[in-house]
């Protein structure tokens, strides 16, 4: 895997994302990846450091290797003109099938991830009366959590 670069598409079944992904393998064990997932006004960005483990096994007649990854995710969402965003860590485990469909440049994978991202949205200024002549105004910020478990897949073409 050393020096291999690939690009393709990734999807997330639980958080409903679809978008481009890319991988570069620094060695036979370690790689880095980046991805973007988009659905409507919801976008996620992610970068990961991946560890590919020894001990391949056959899955549907294809050499498959398990991997784990530690990543950093950024989430952006816009609802009715209000933007929410946040960042956090992501833990991933899965497997990657190499030489998929009898093509040495094609790989597919299935992964299970857990992410913990706190999102925040500024709703703008809100004013309320203090007495009959005075009112006080303040910015209203709403916080929420994006995260939990997800299941995803990827299909990657390696150019070298």
- 5-158 maps to which CATH number? 2.40.160.20
Output the six-digit token pair for 104.
């040495």
**pLDDT digit string, tens, across residues 108-148:** 999 999 988 877 777 777 777 777 777 788 877 777 666 67
Check residue 68 and give its pLDDT.
97
Residue-wise pLDDT tens digits, 29-46 = 999 999 998 877 778 889
pLDDT at 70: 97
pLDDT attached to residue 146: 67
DSSP one-letter code for 60? T
Secondary structure (3-state) at 14: coil
So where are the chain's domains? 5-158
């Amino acid at each position: 895997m050393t020096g291999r670069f690939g690009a393709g598409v990734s999807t997330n079944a639980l958080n409903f994302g679809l978008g481009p992904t890319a991988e570069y393998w620094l060695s036979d064990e370690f790689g880095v990846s980046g991805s973007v997932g988009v659905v409507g006004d919801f976008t996620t960005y992610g970068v990961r450091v991946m560890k590919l483990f020894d001990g391949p096994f056959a899955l549907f007649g294809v050499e498959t290797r398990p991997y784990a990854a530690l990543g950093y995710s950024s989430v952006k969402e816009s609802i009715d003109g209000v933007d929410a965003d946040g960042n956090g860590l992501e833990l991933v485990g899965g497997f990657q099938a190499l030489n998929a469909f009898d093509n040495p440049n094609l790989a597919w994978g299935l992964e299970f991830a857990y992410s913990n991202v706190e999102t925040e949205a500024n709703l703008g200024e809100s004013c309320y009366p203090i007495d009959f002549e005075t009112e006080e105004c303040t910015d209203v910020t709403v916080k929420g959590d994006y995260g939990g478990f997800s299941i995803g897949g990827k299909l990657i073409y390696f150019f070298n």
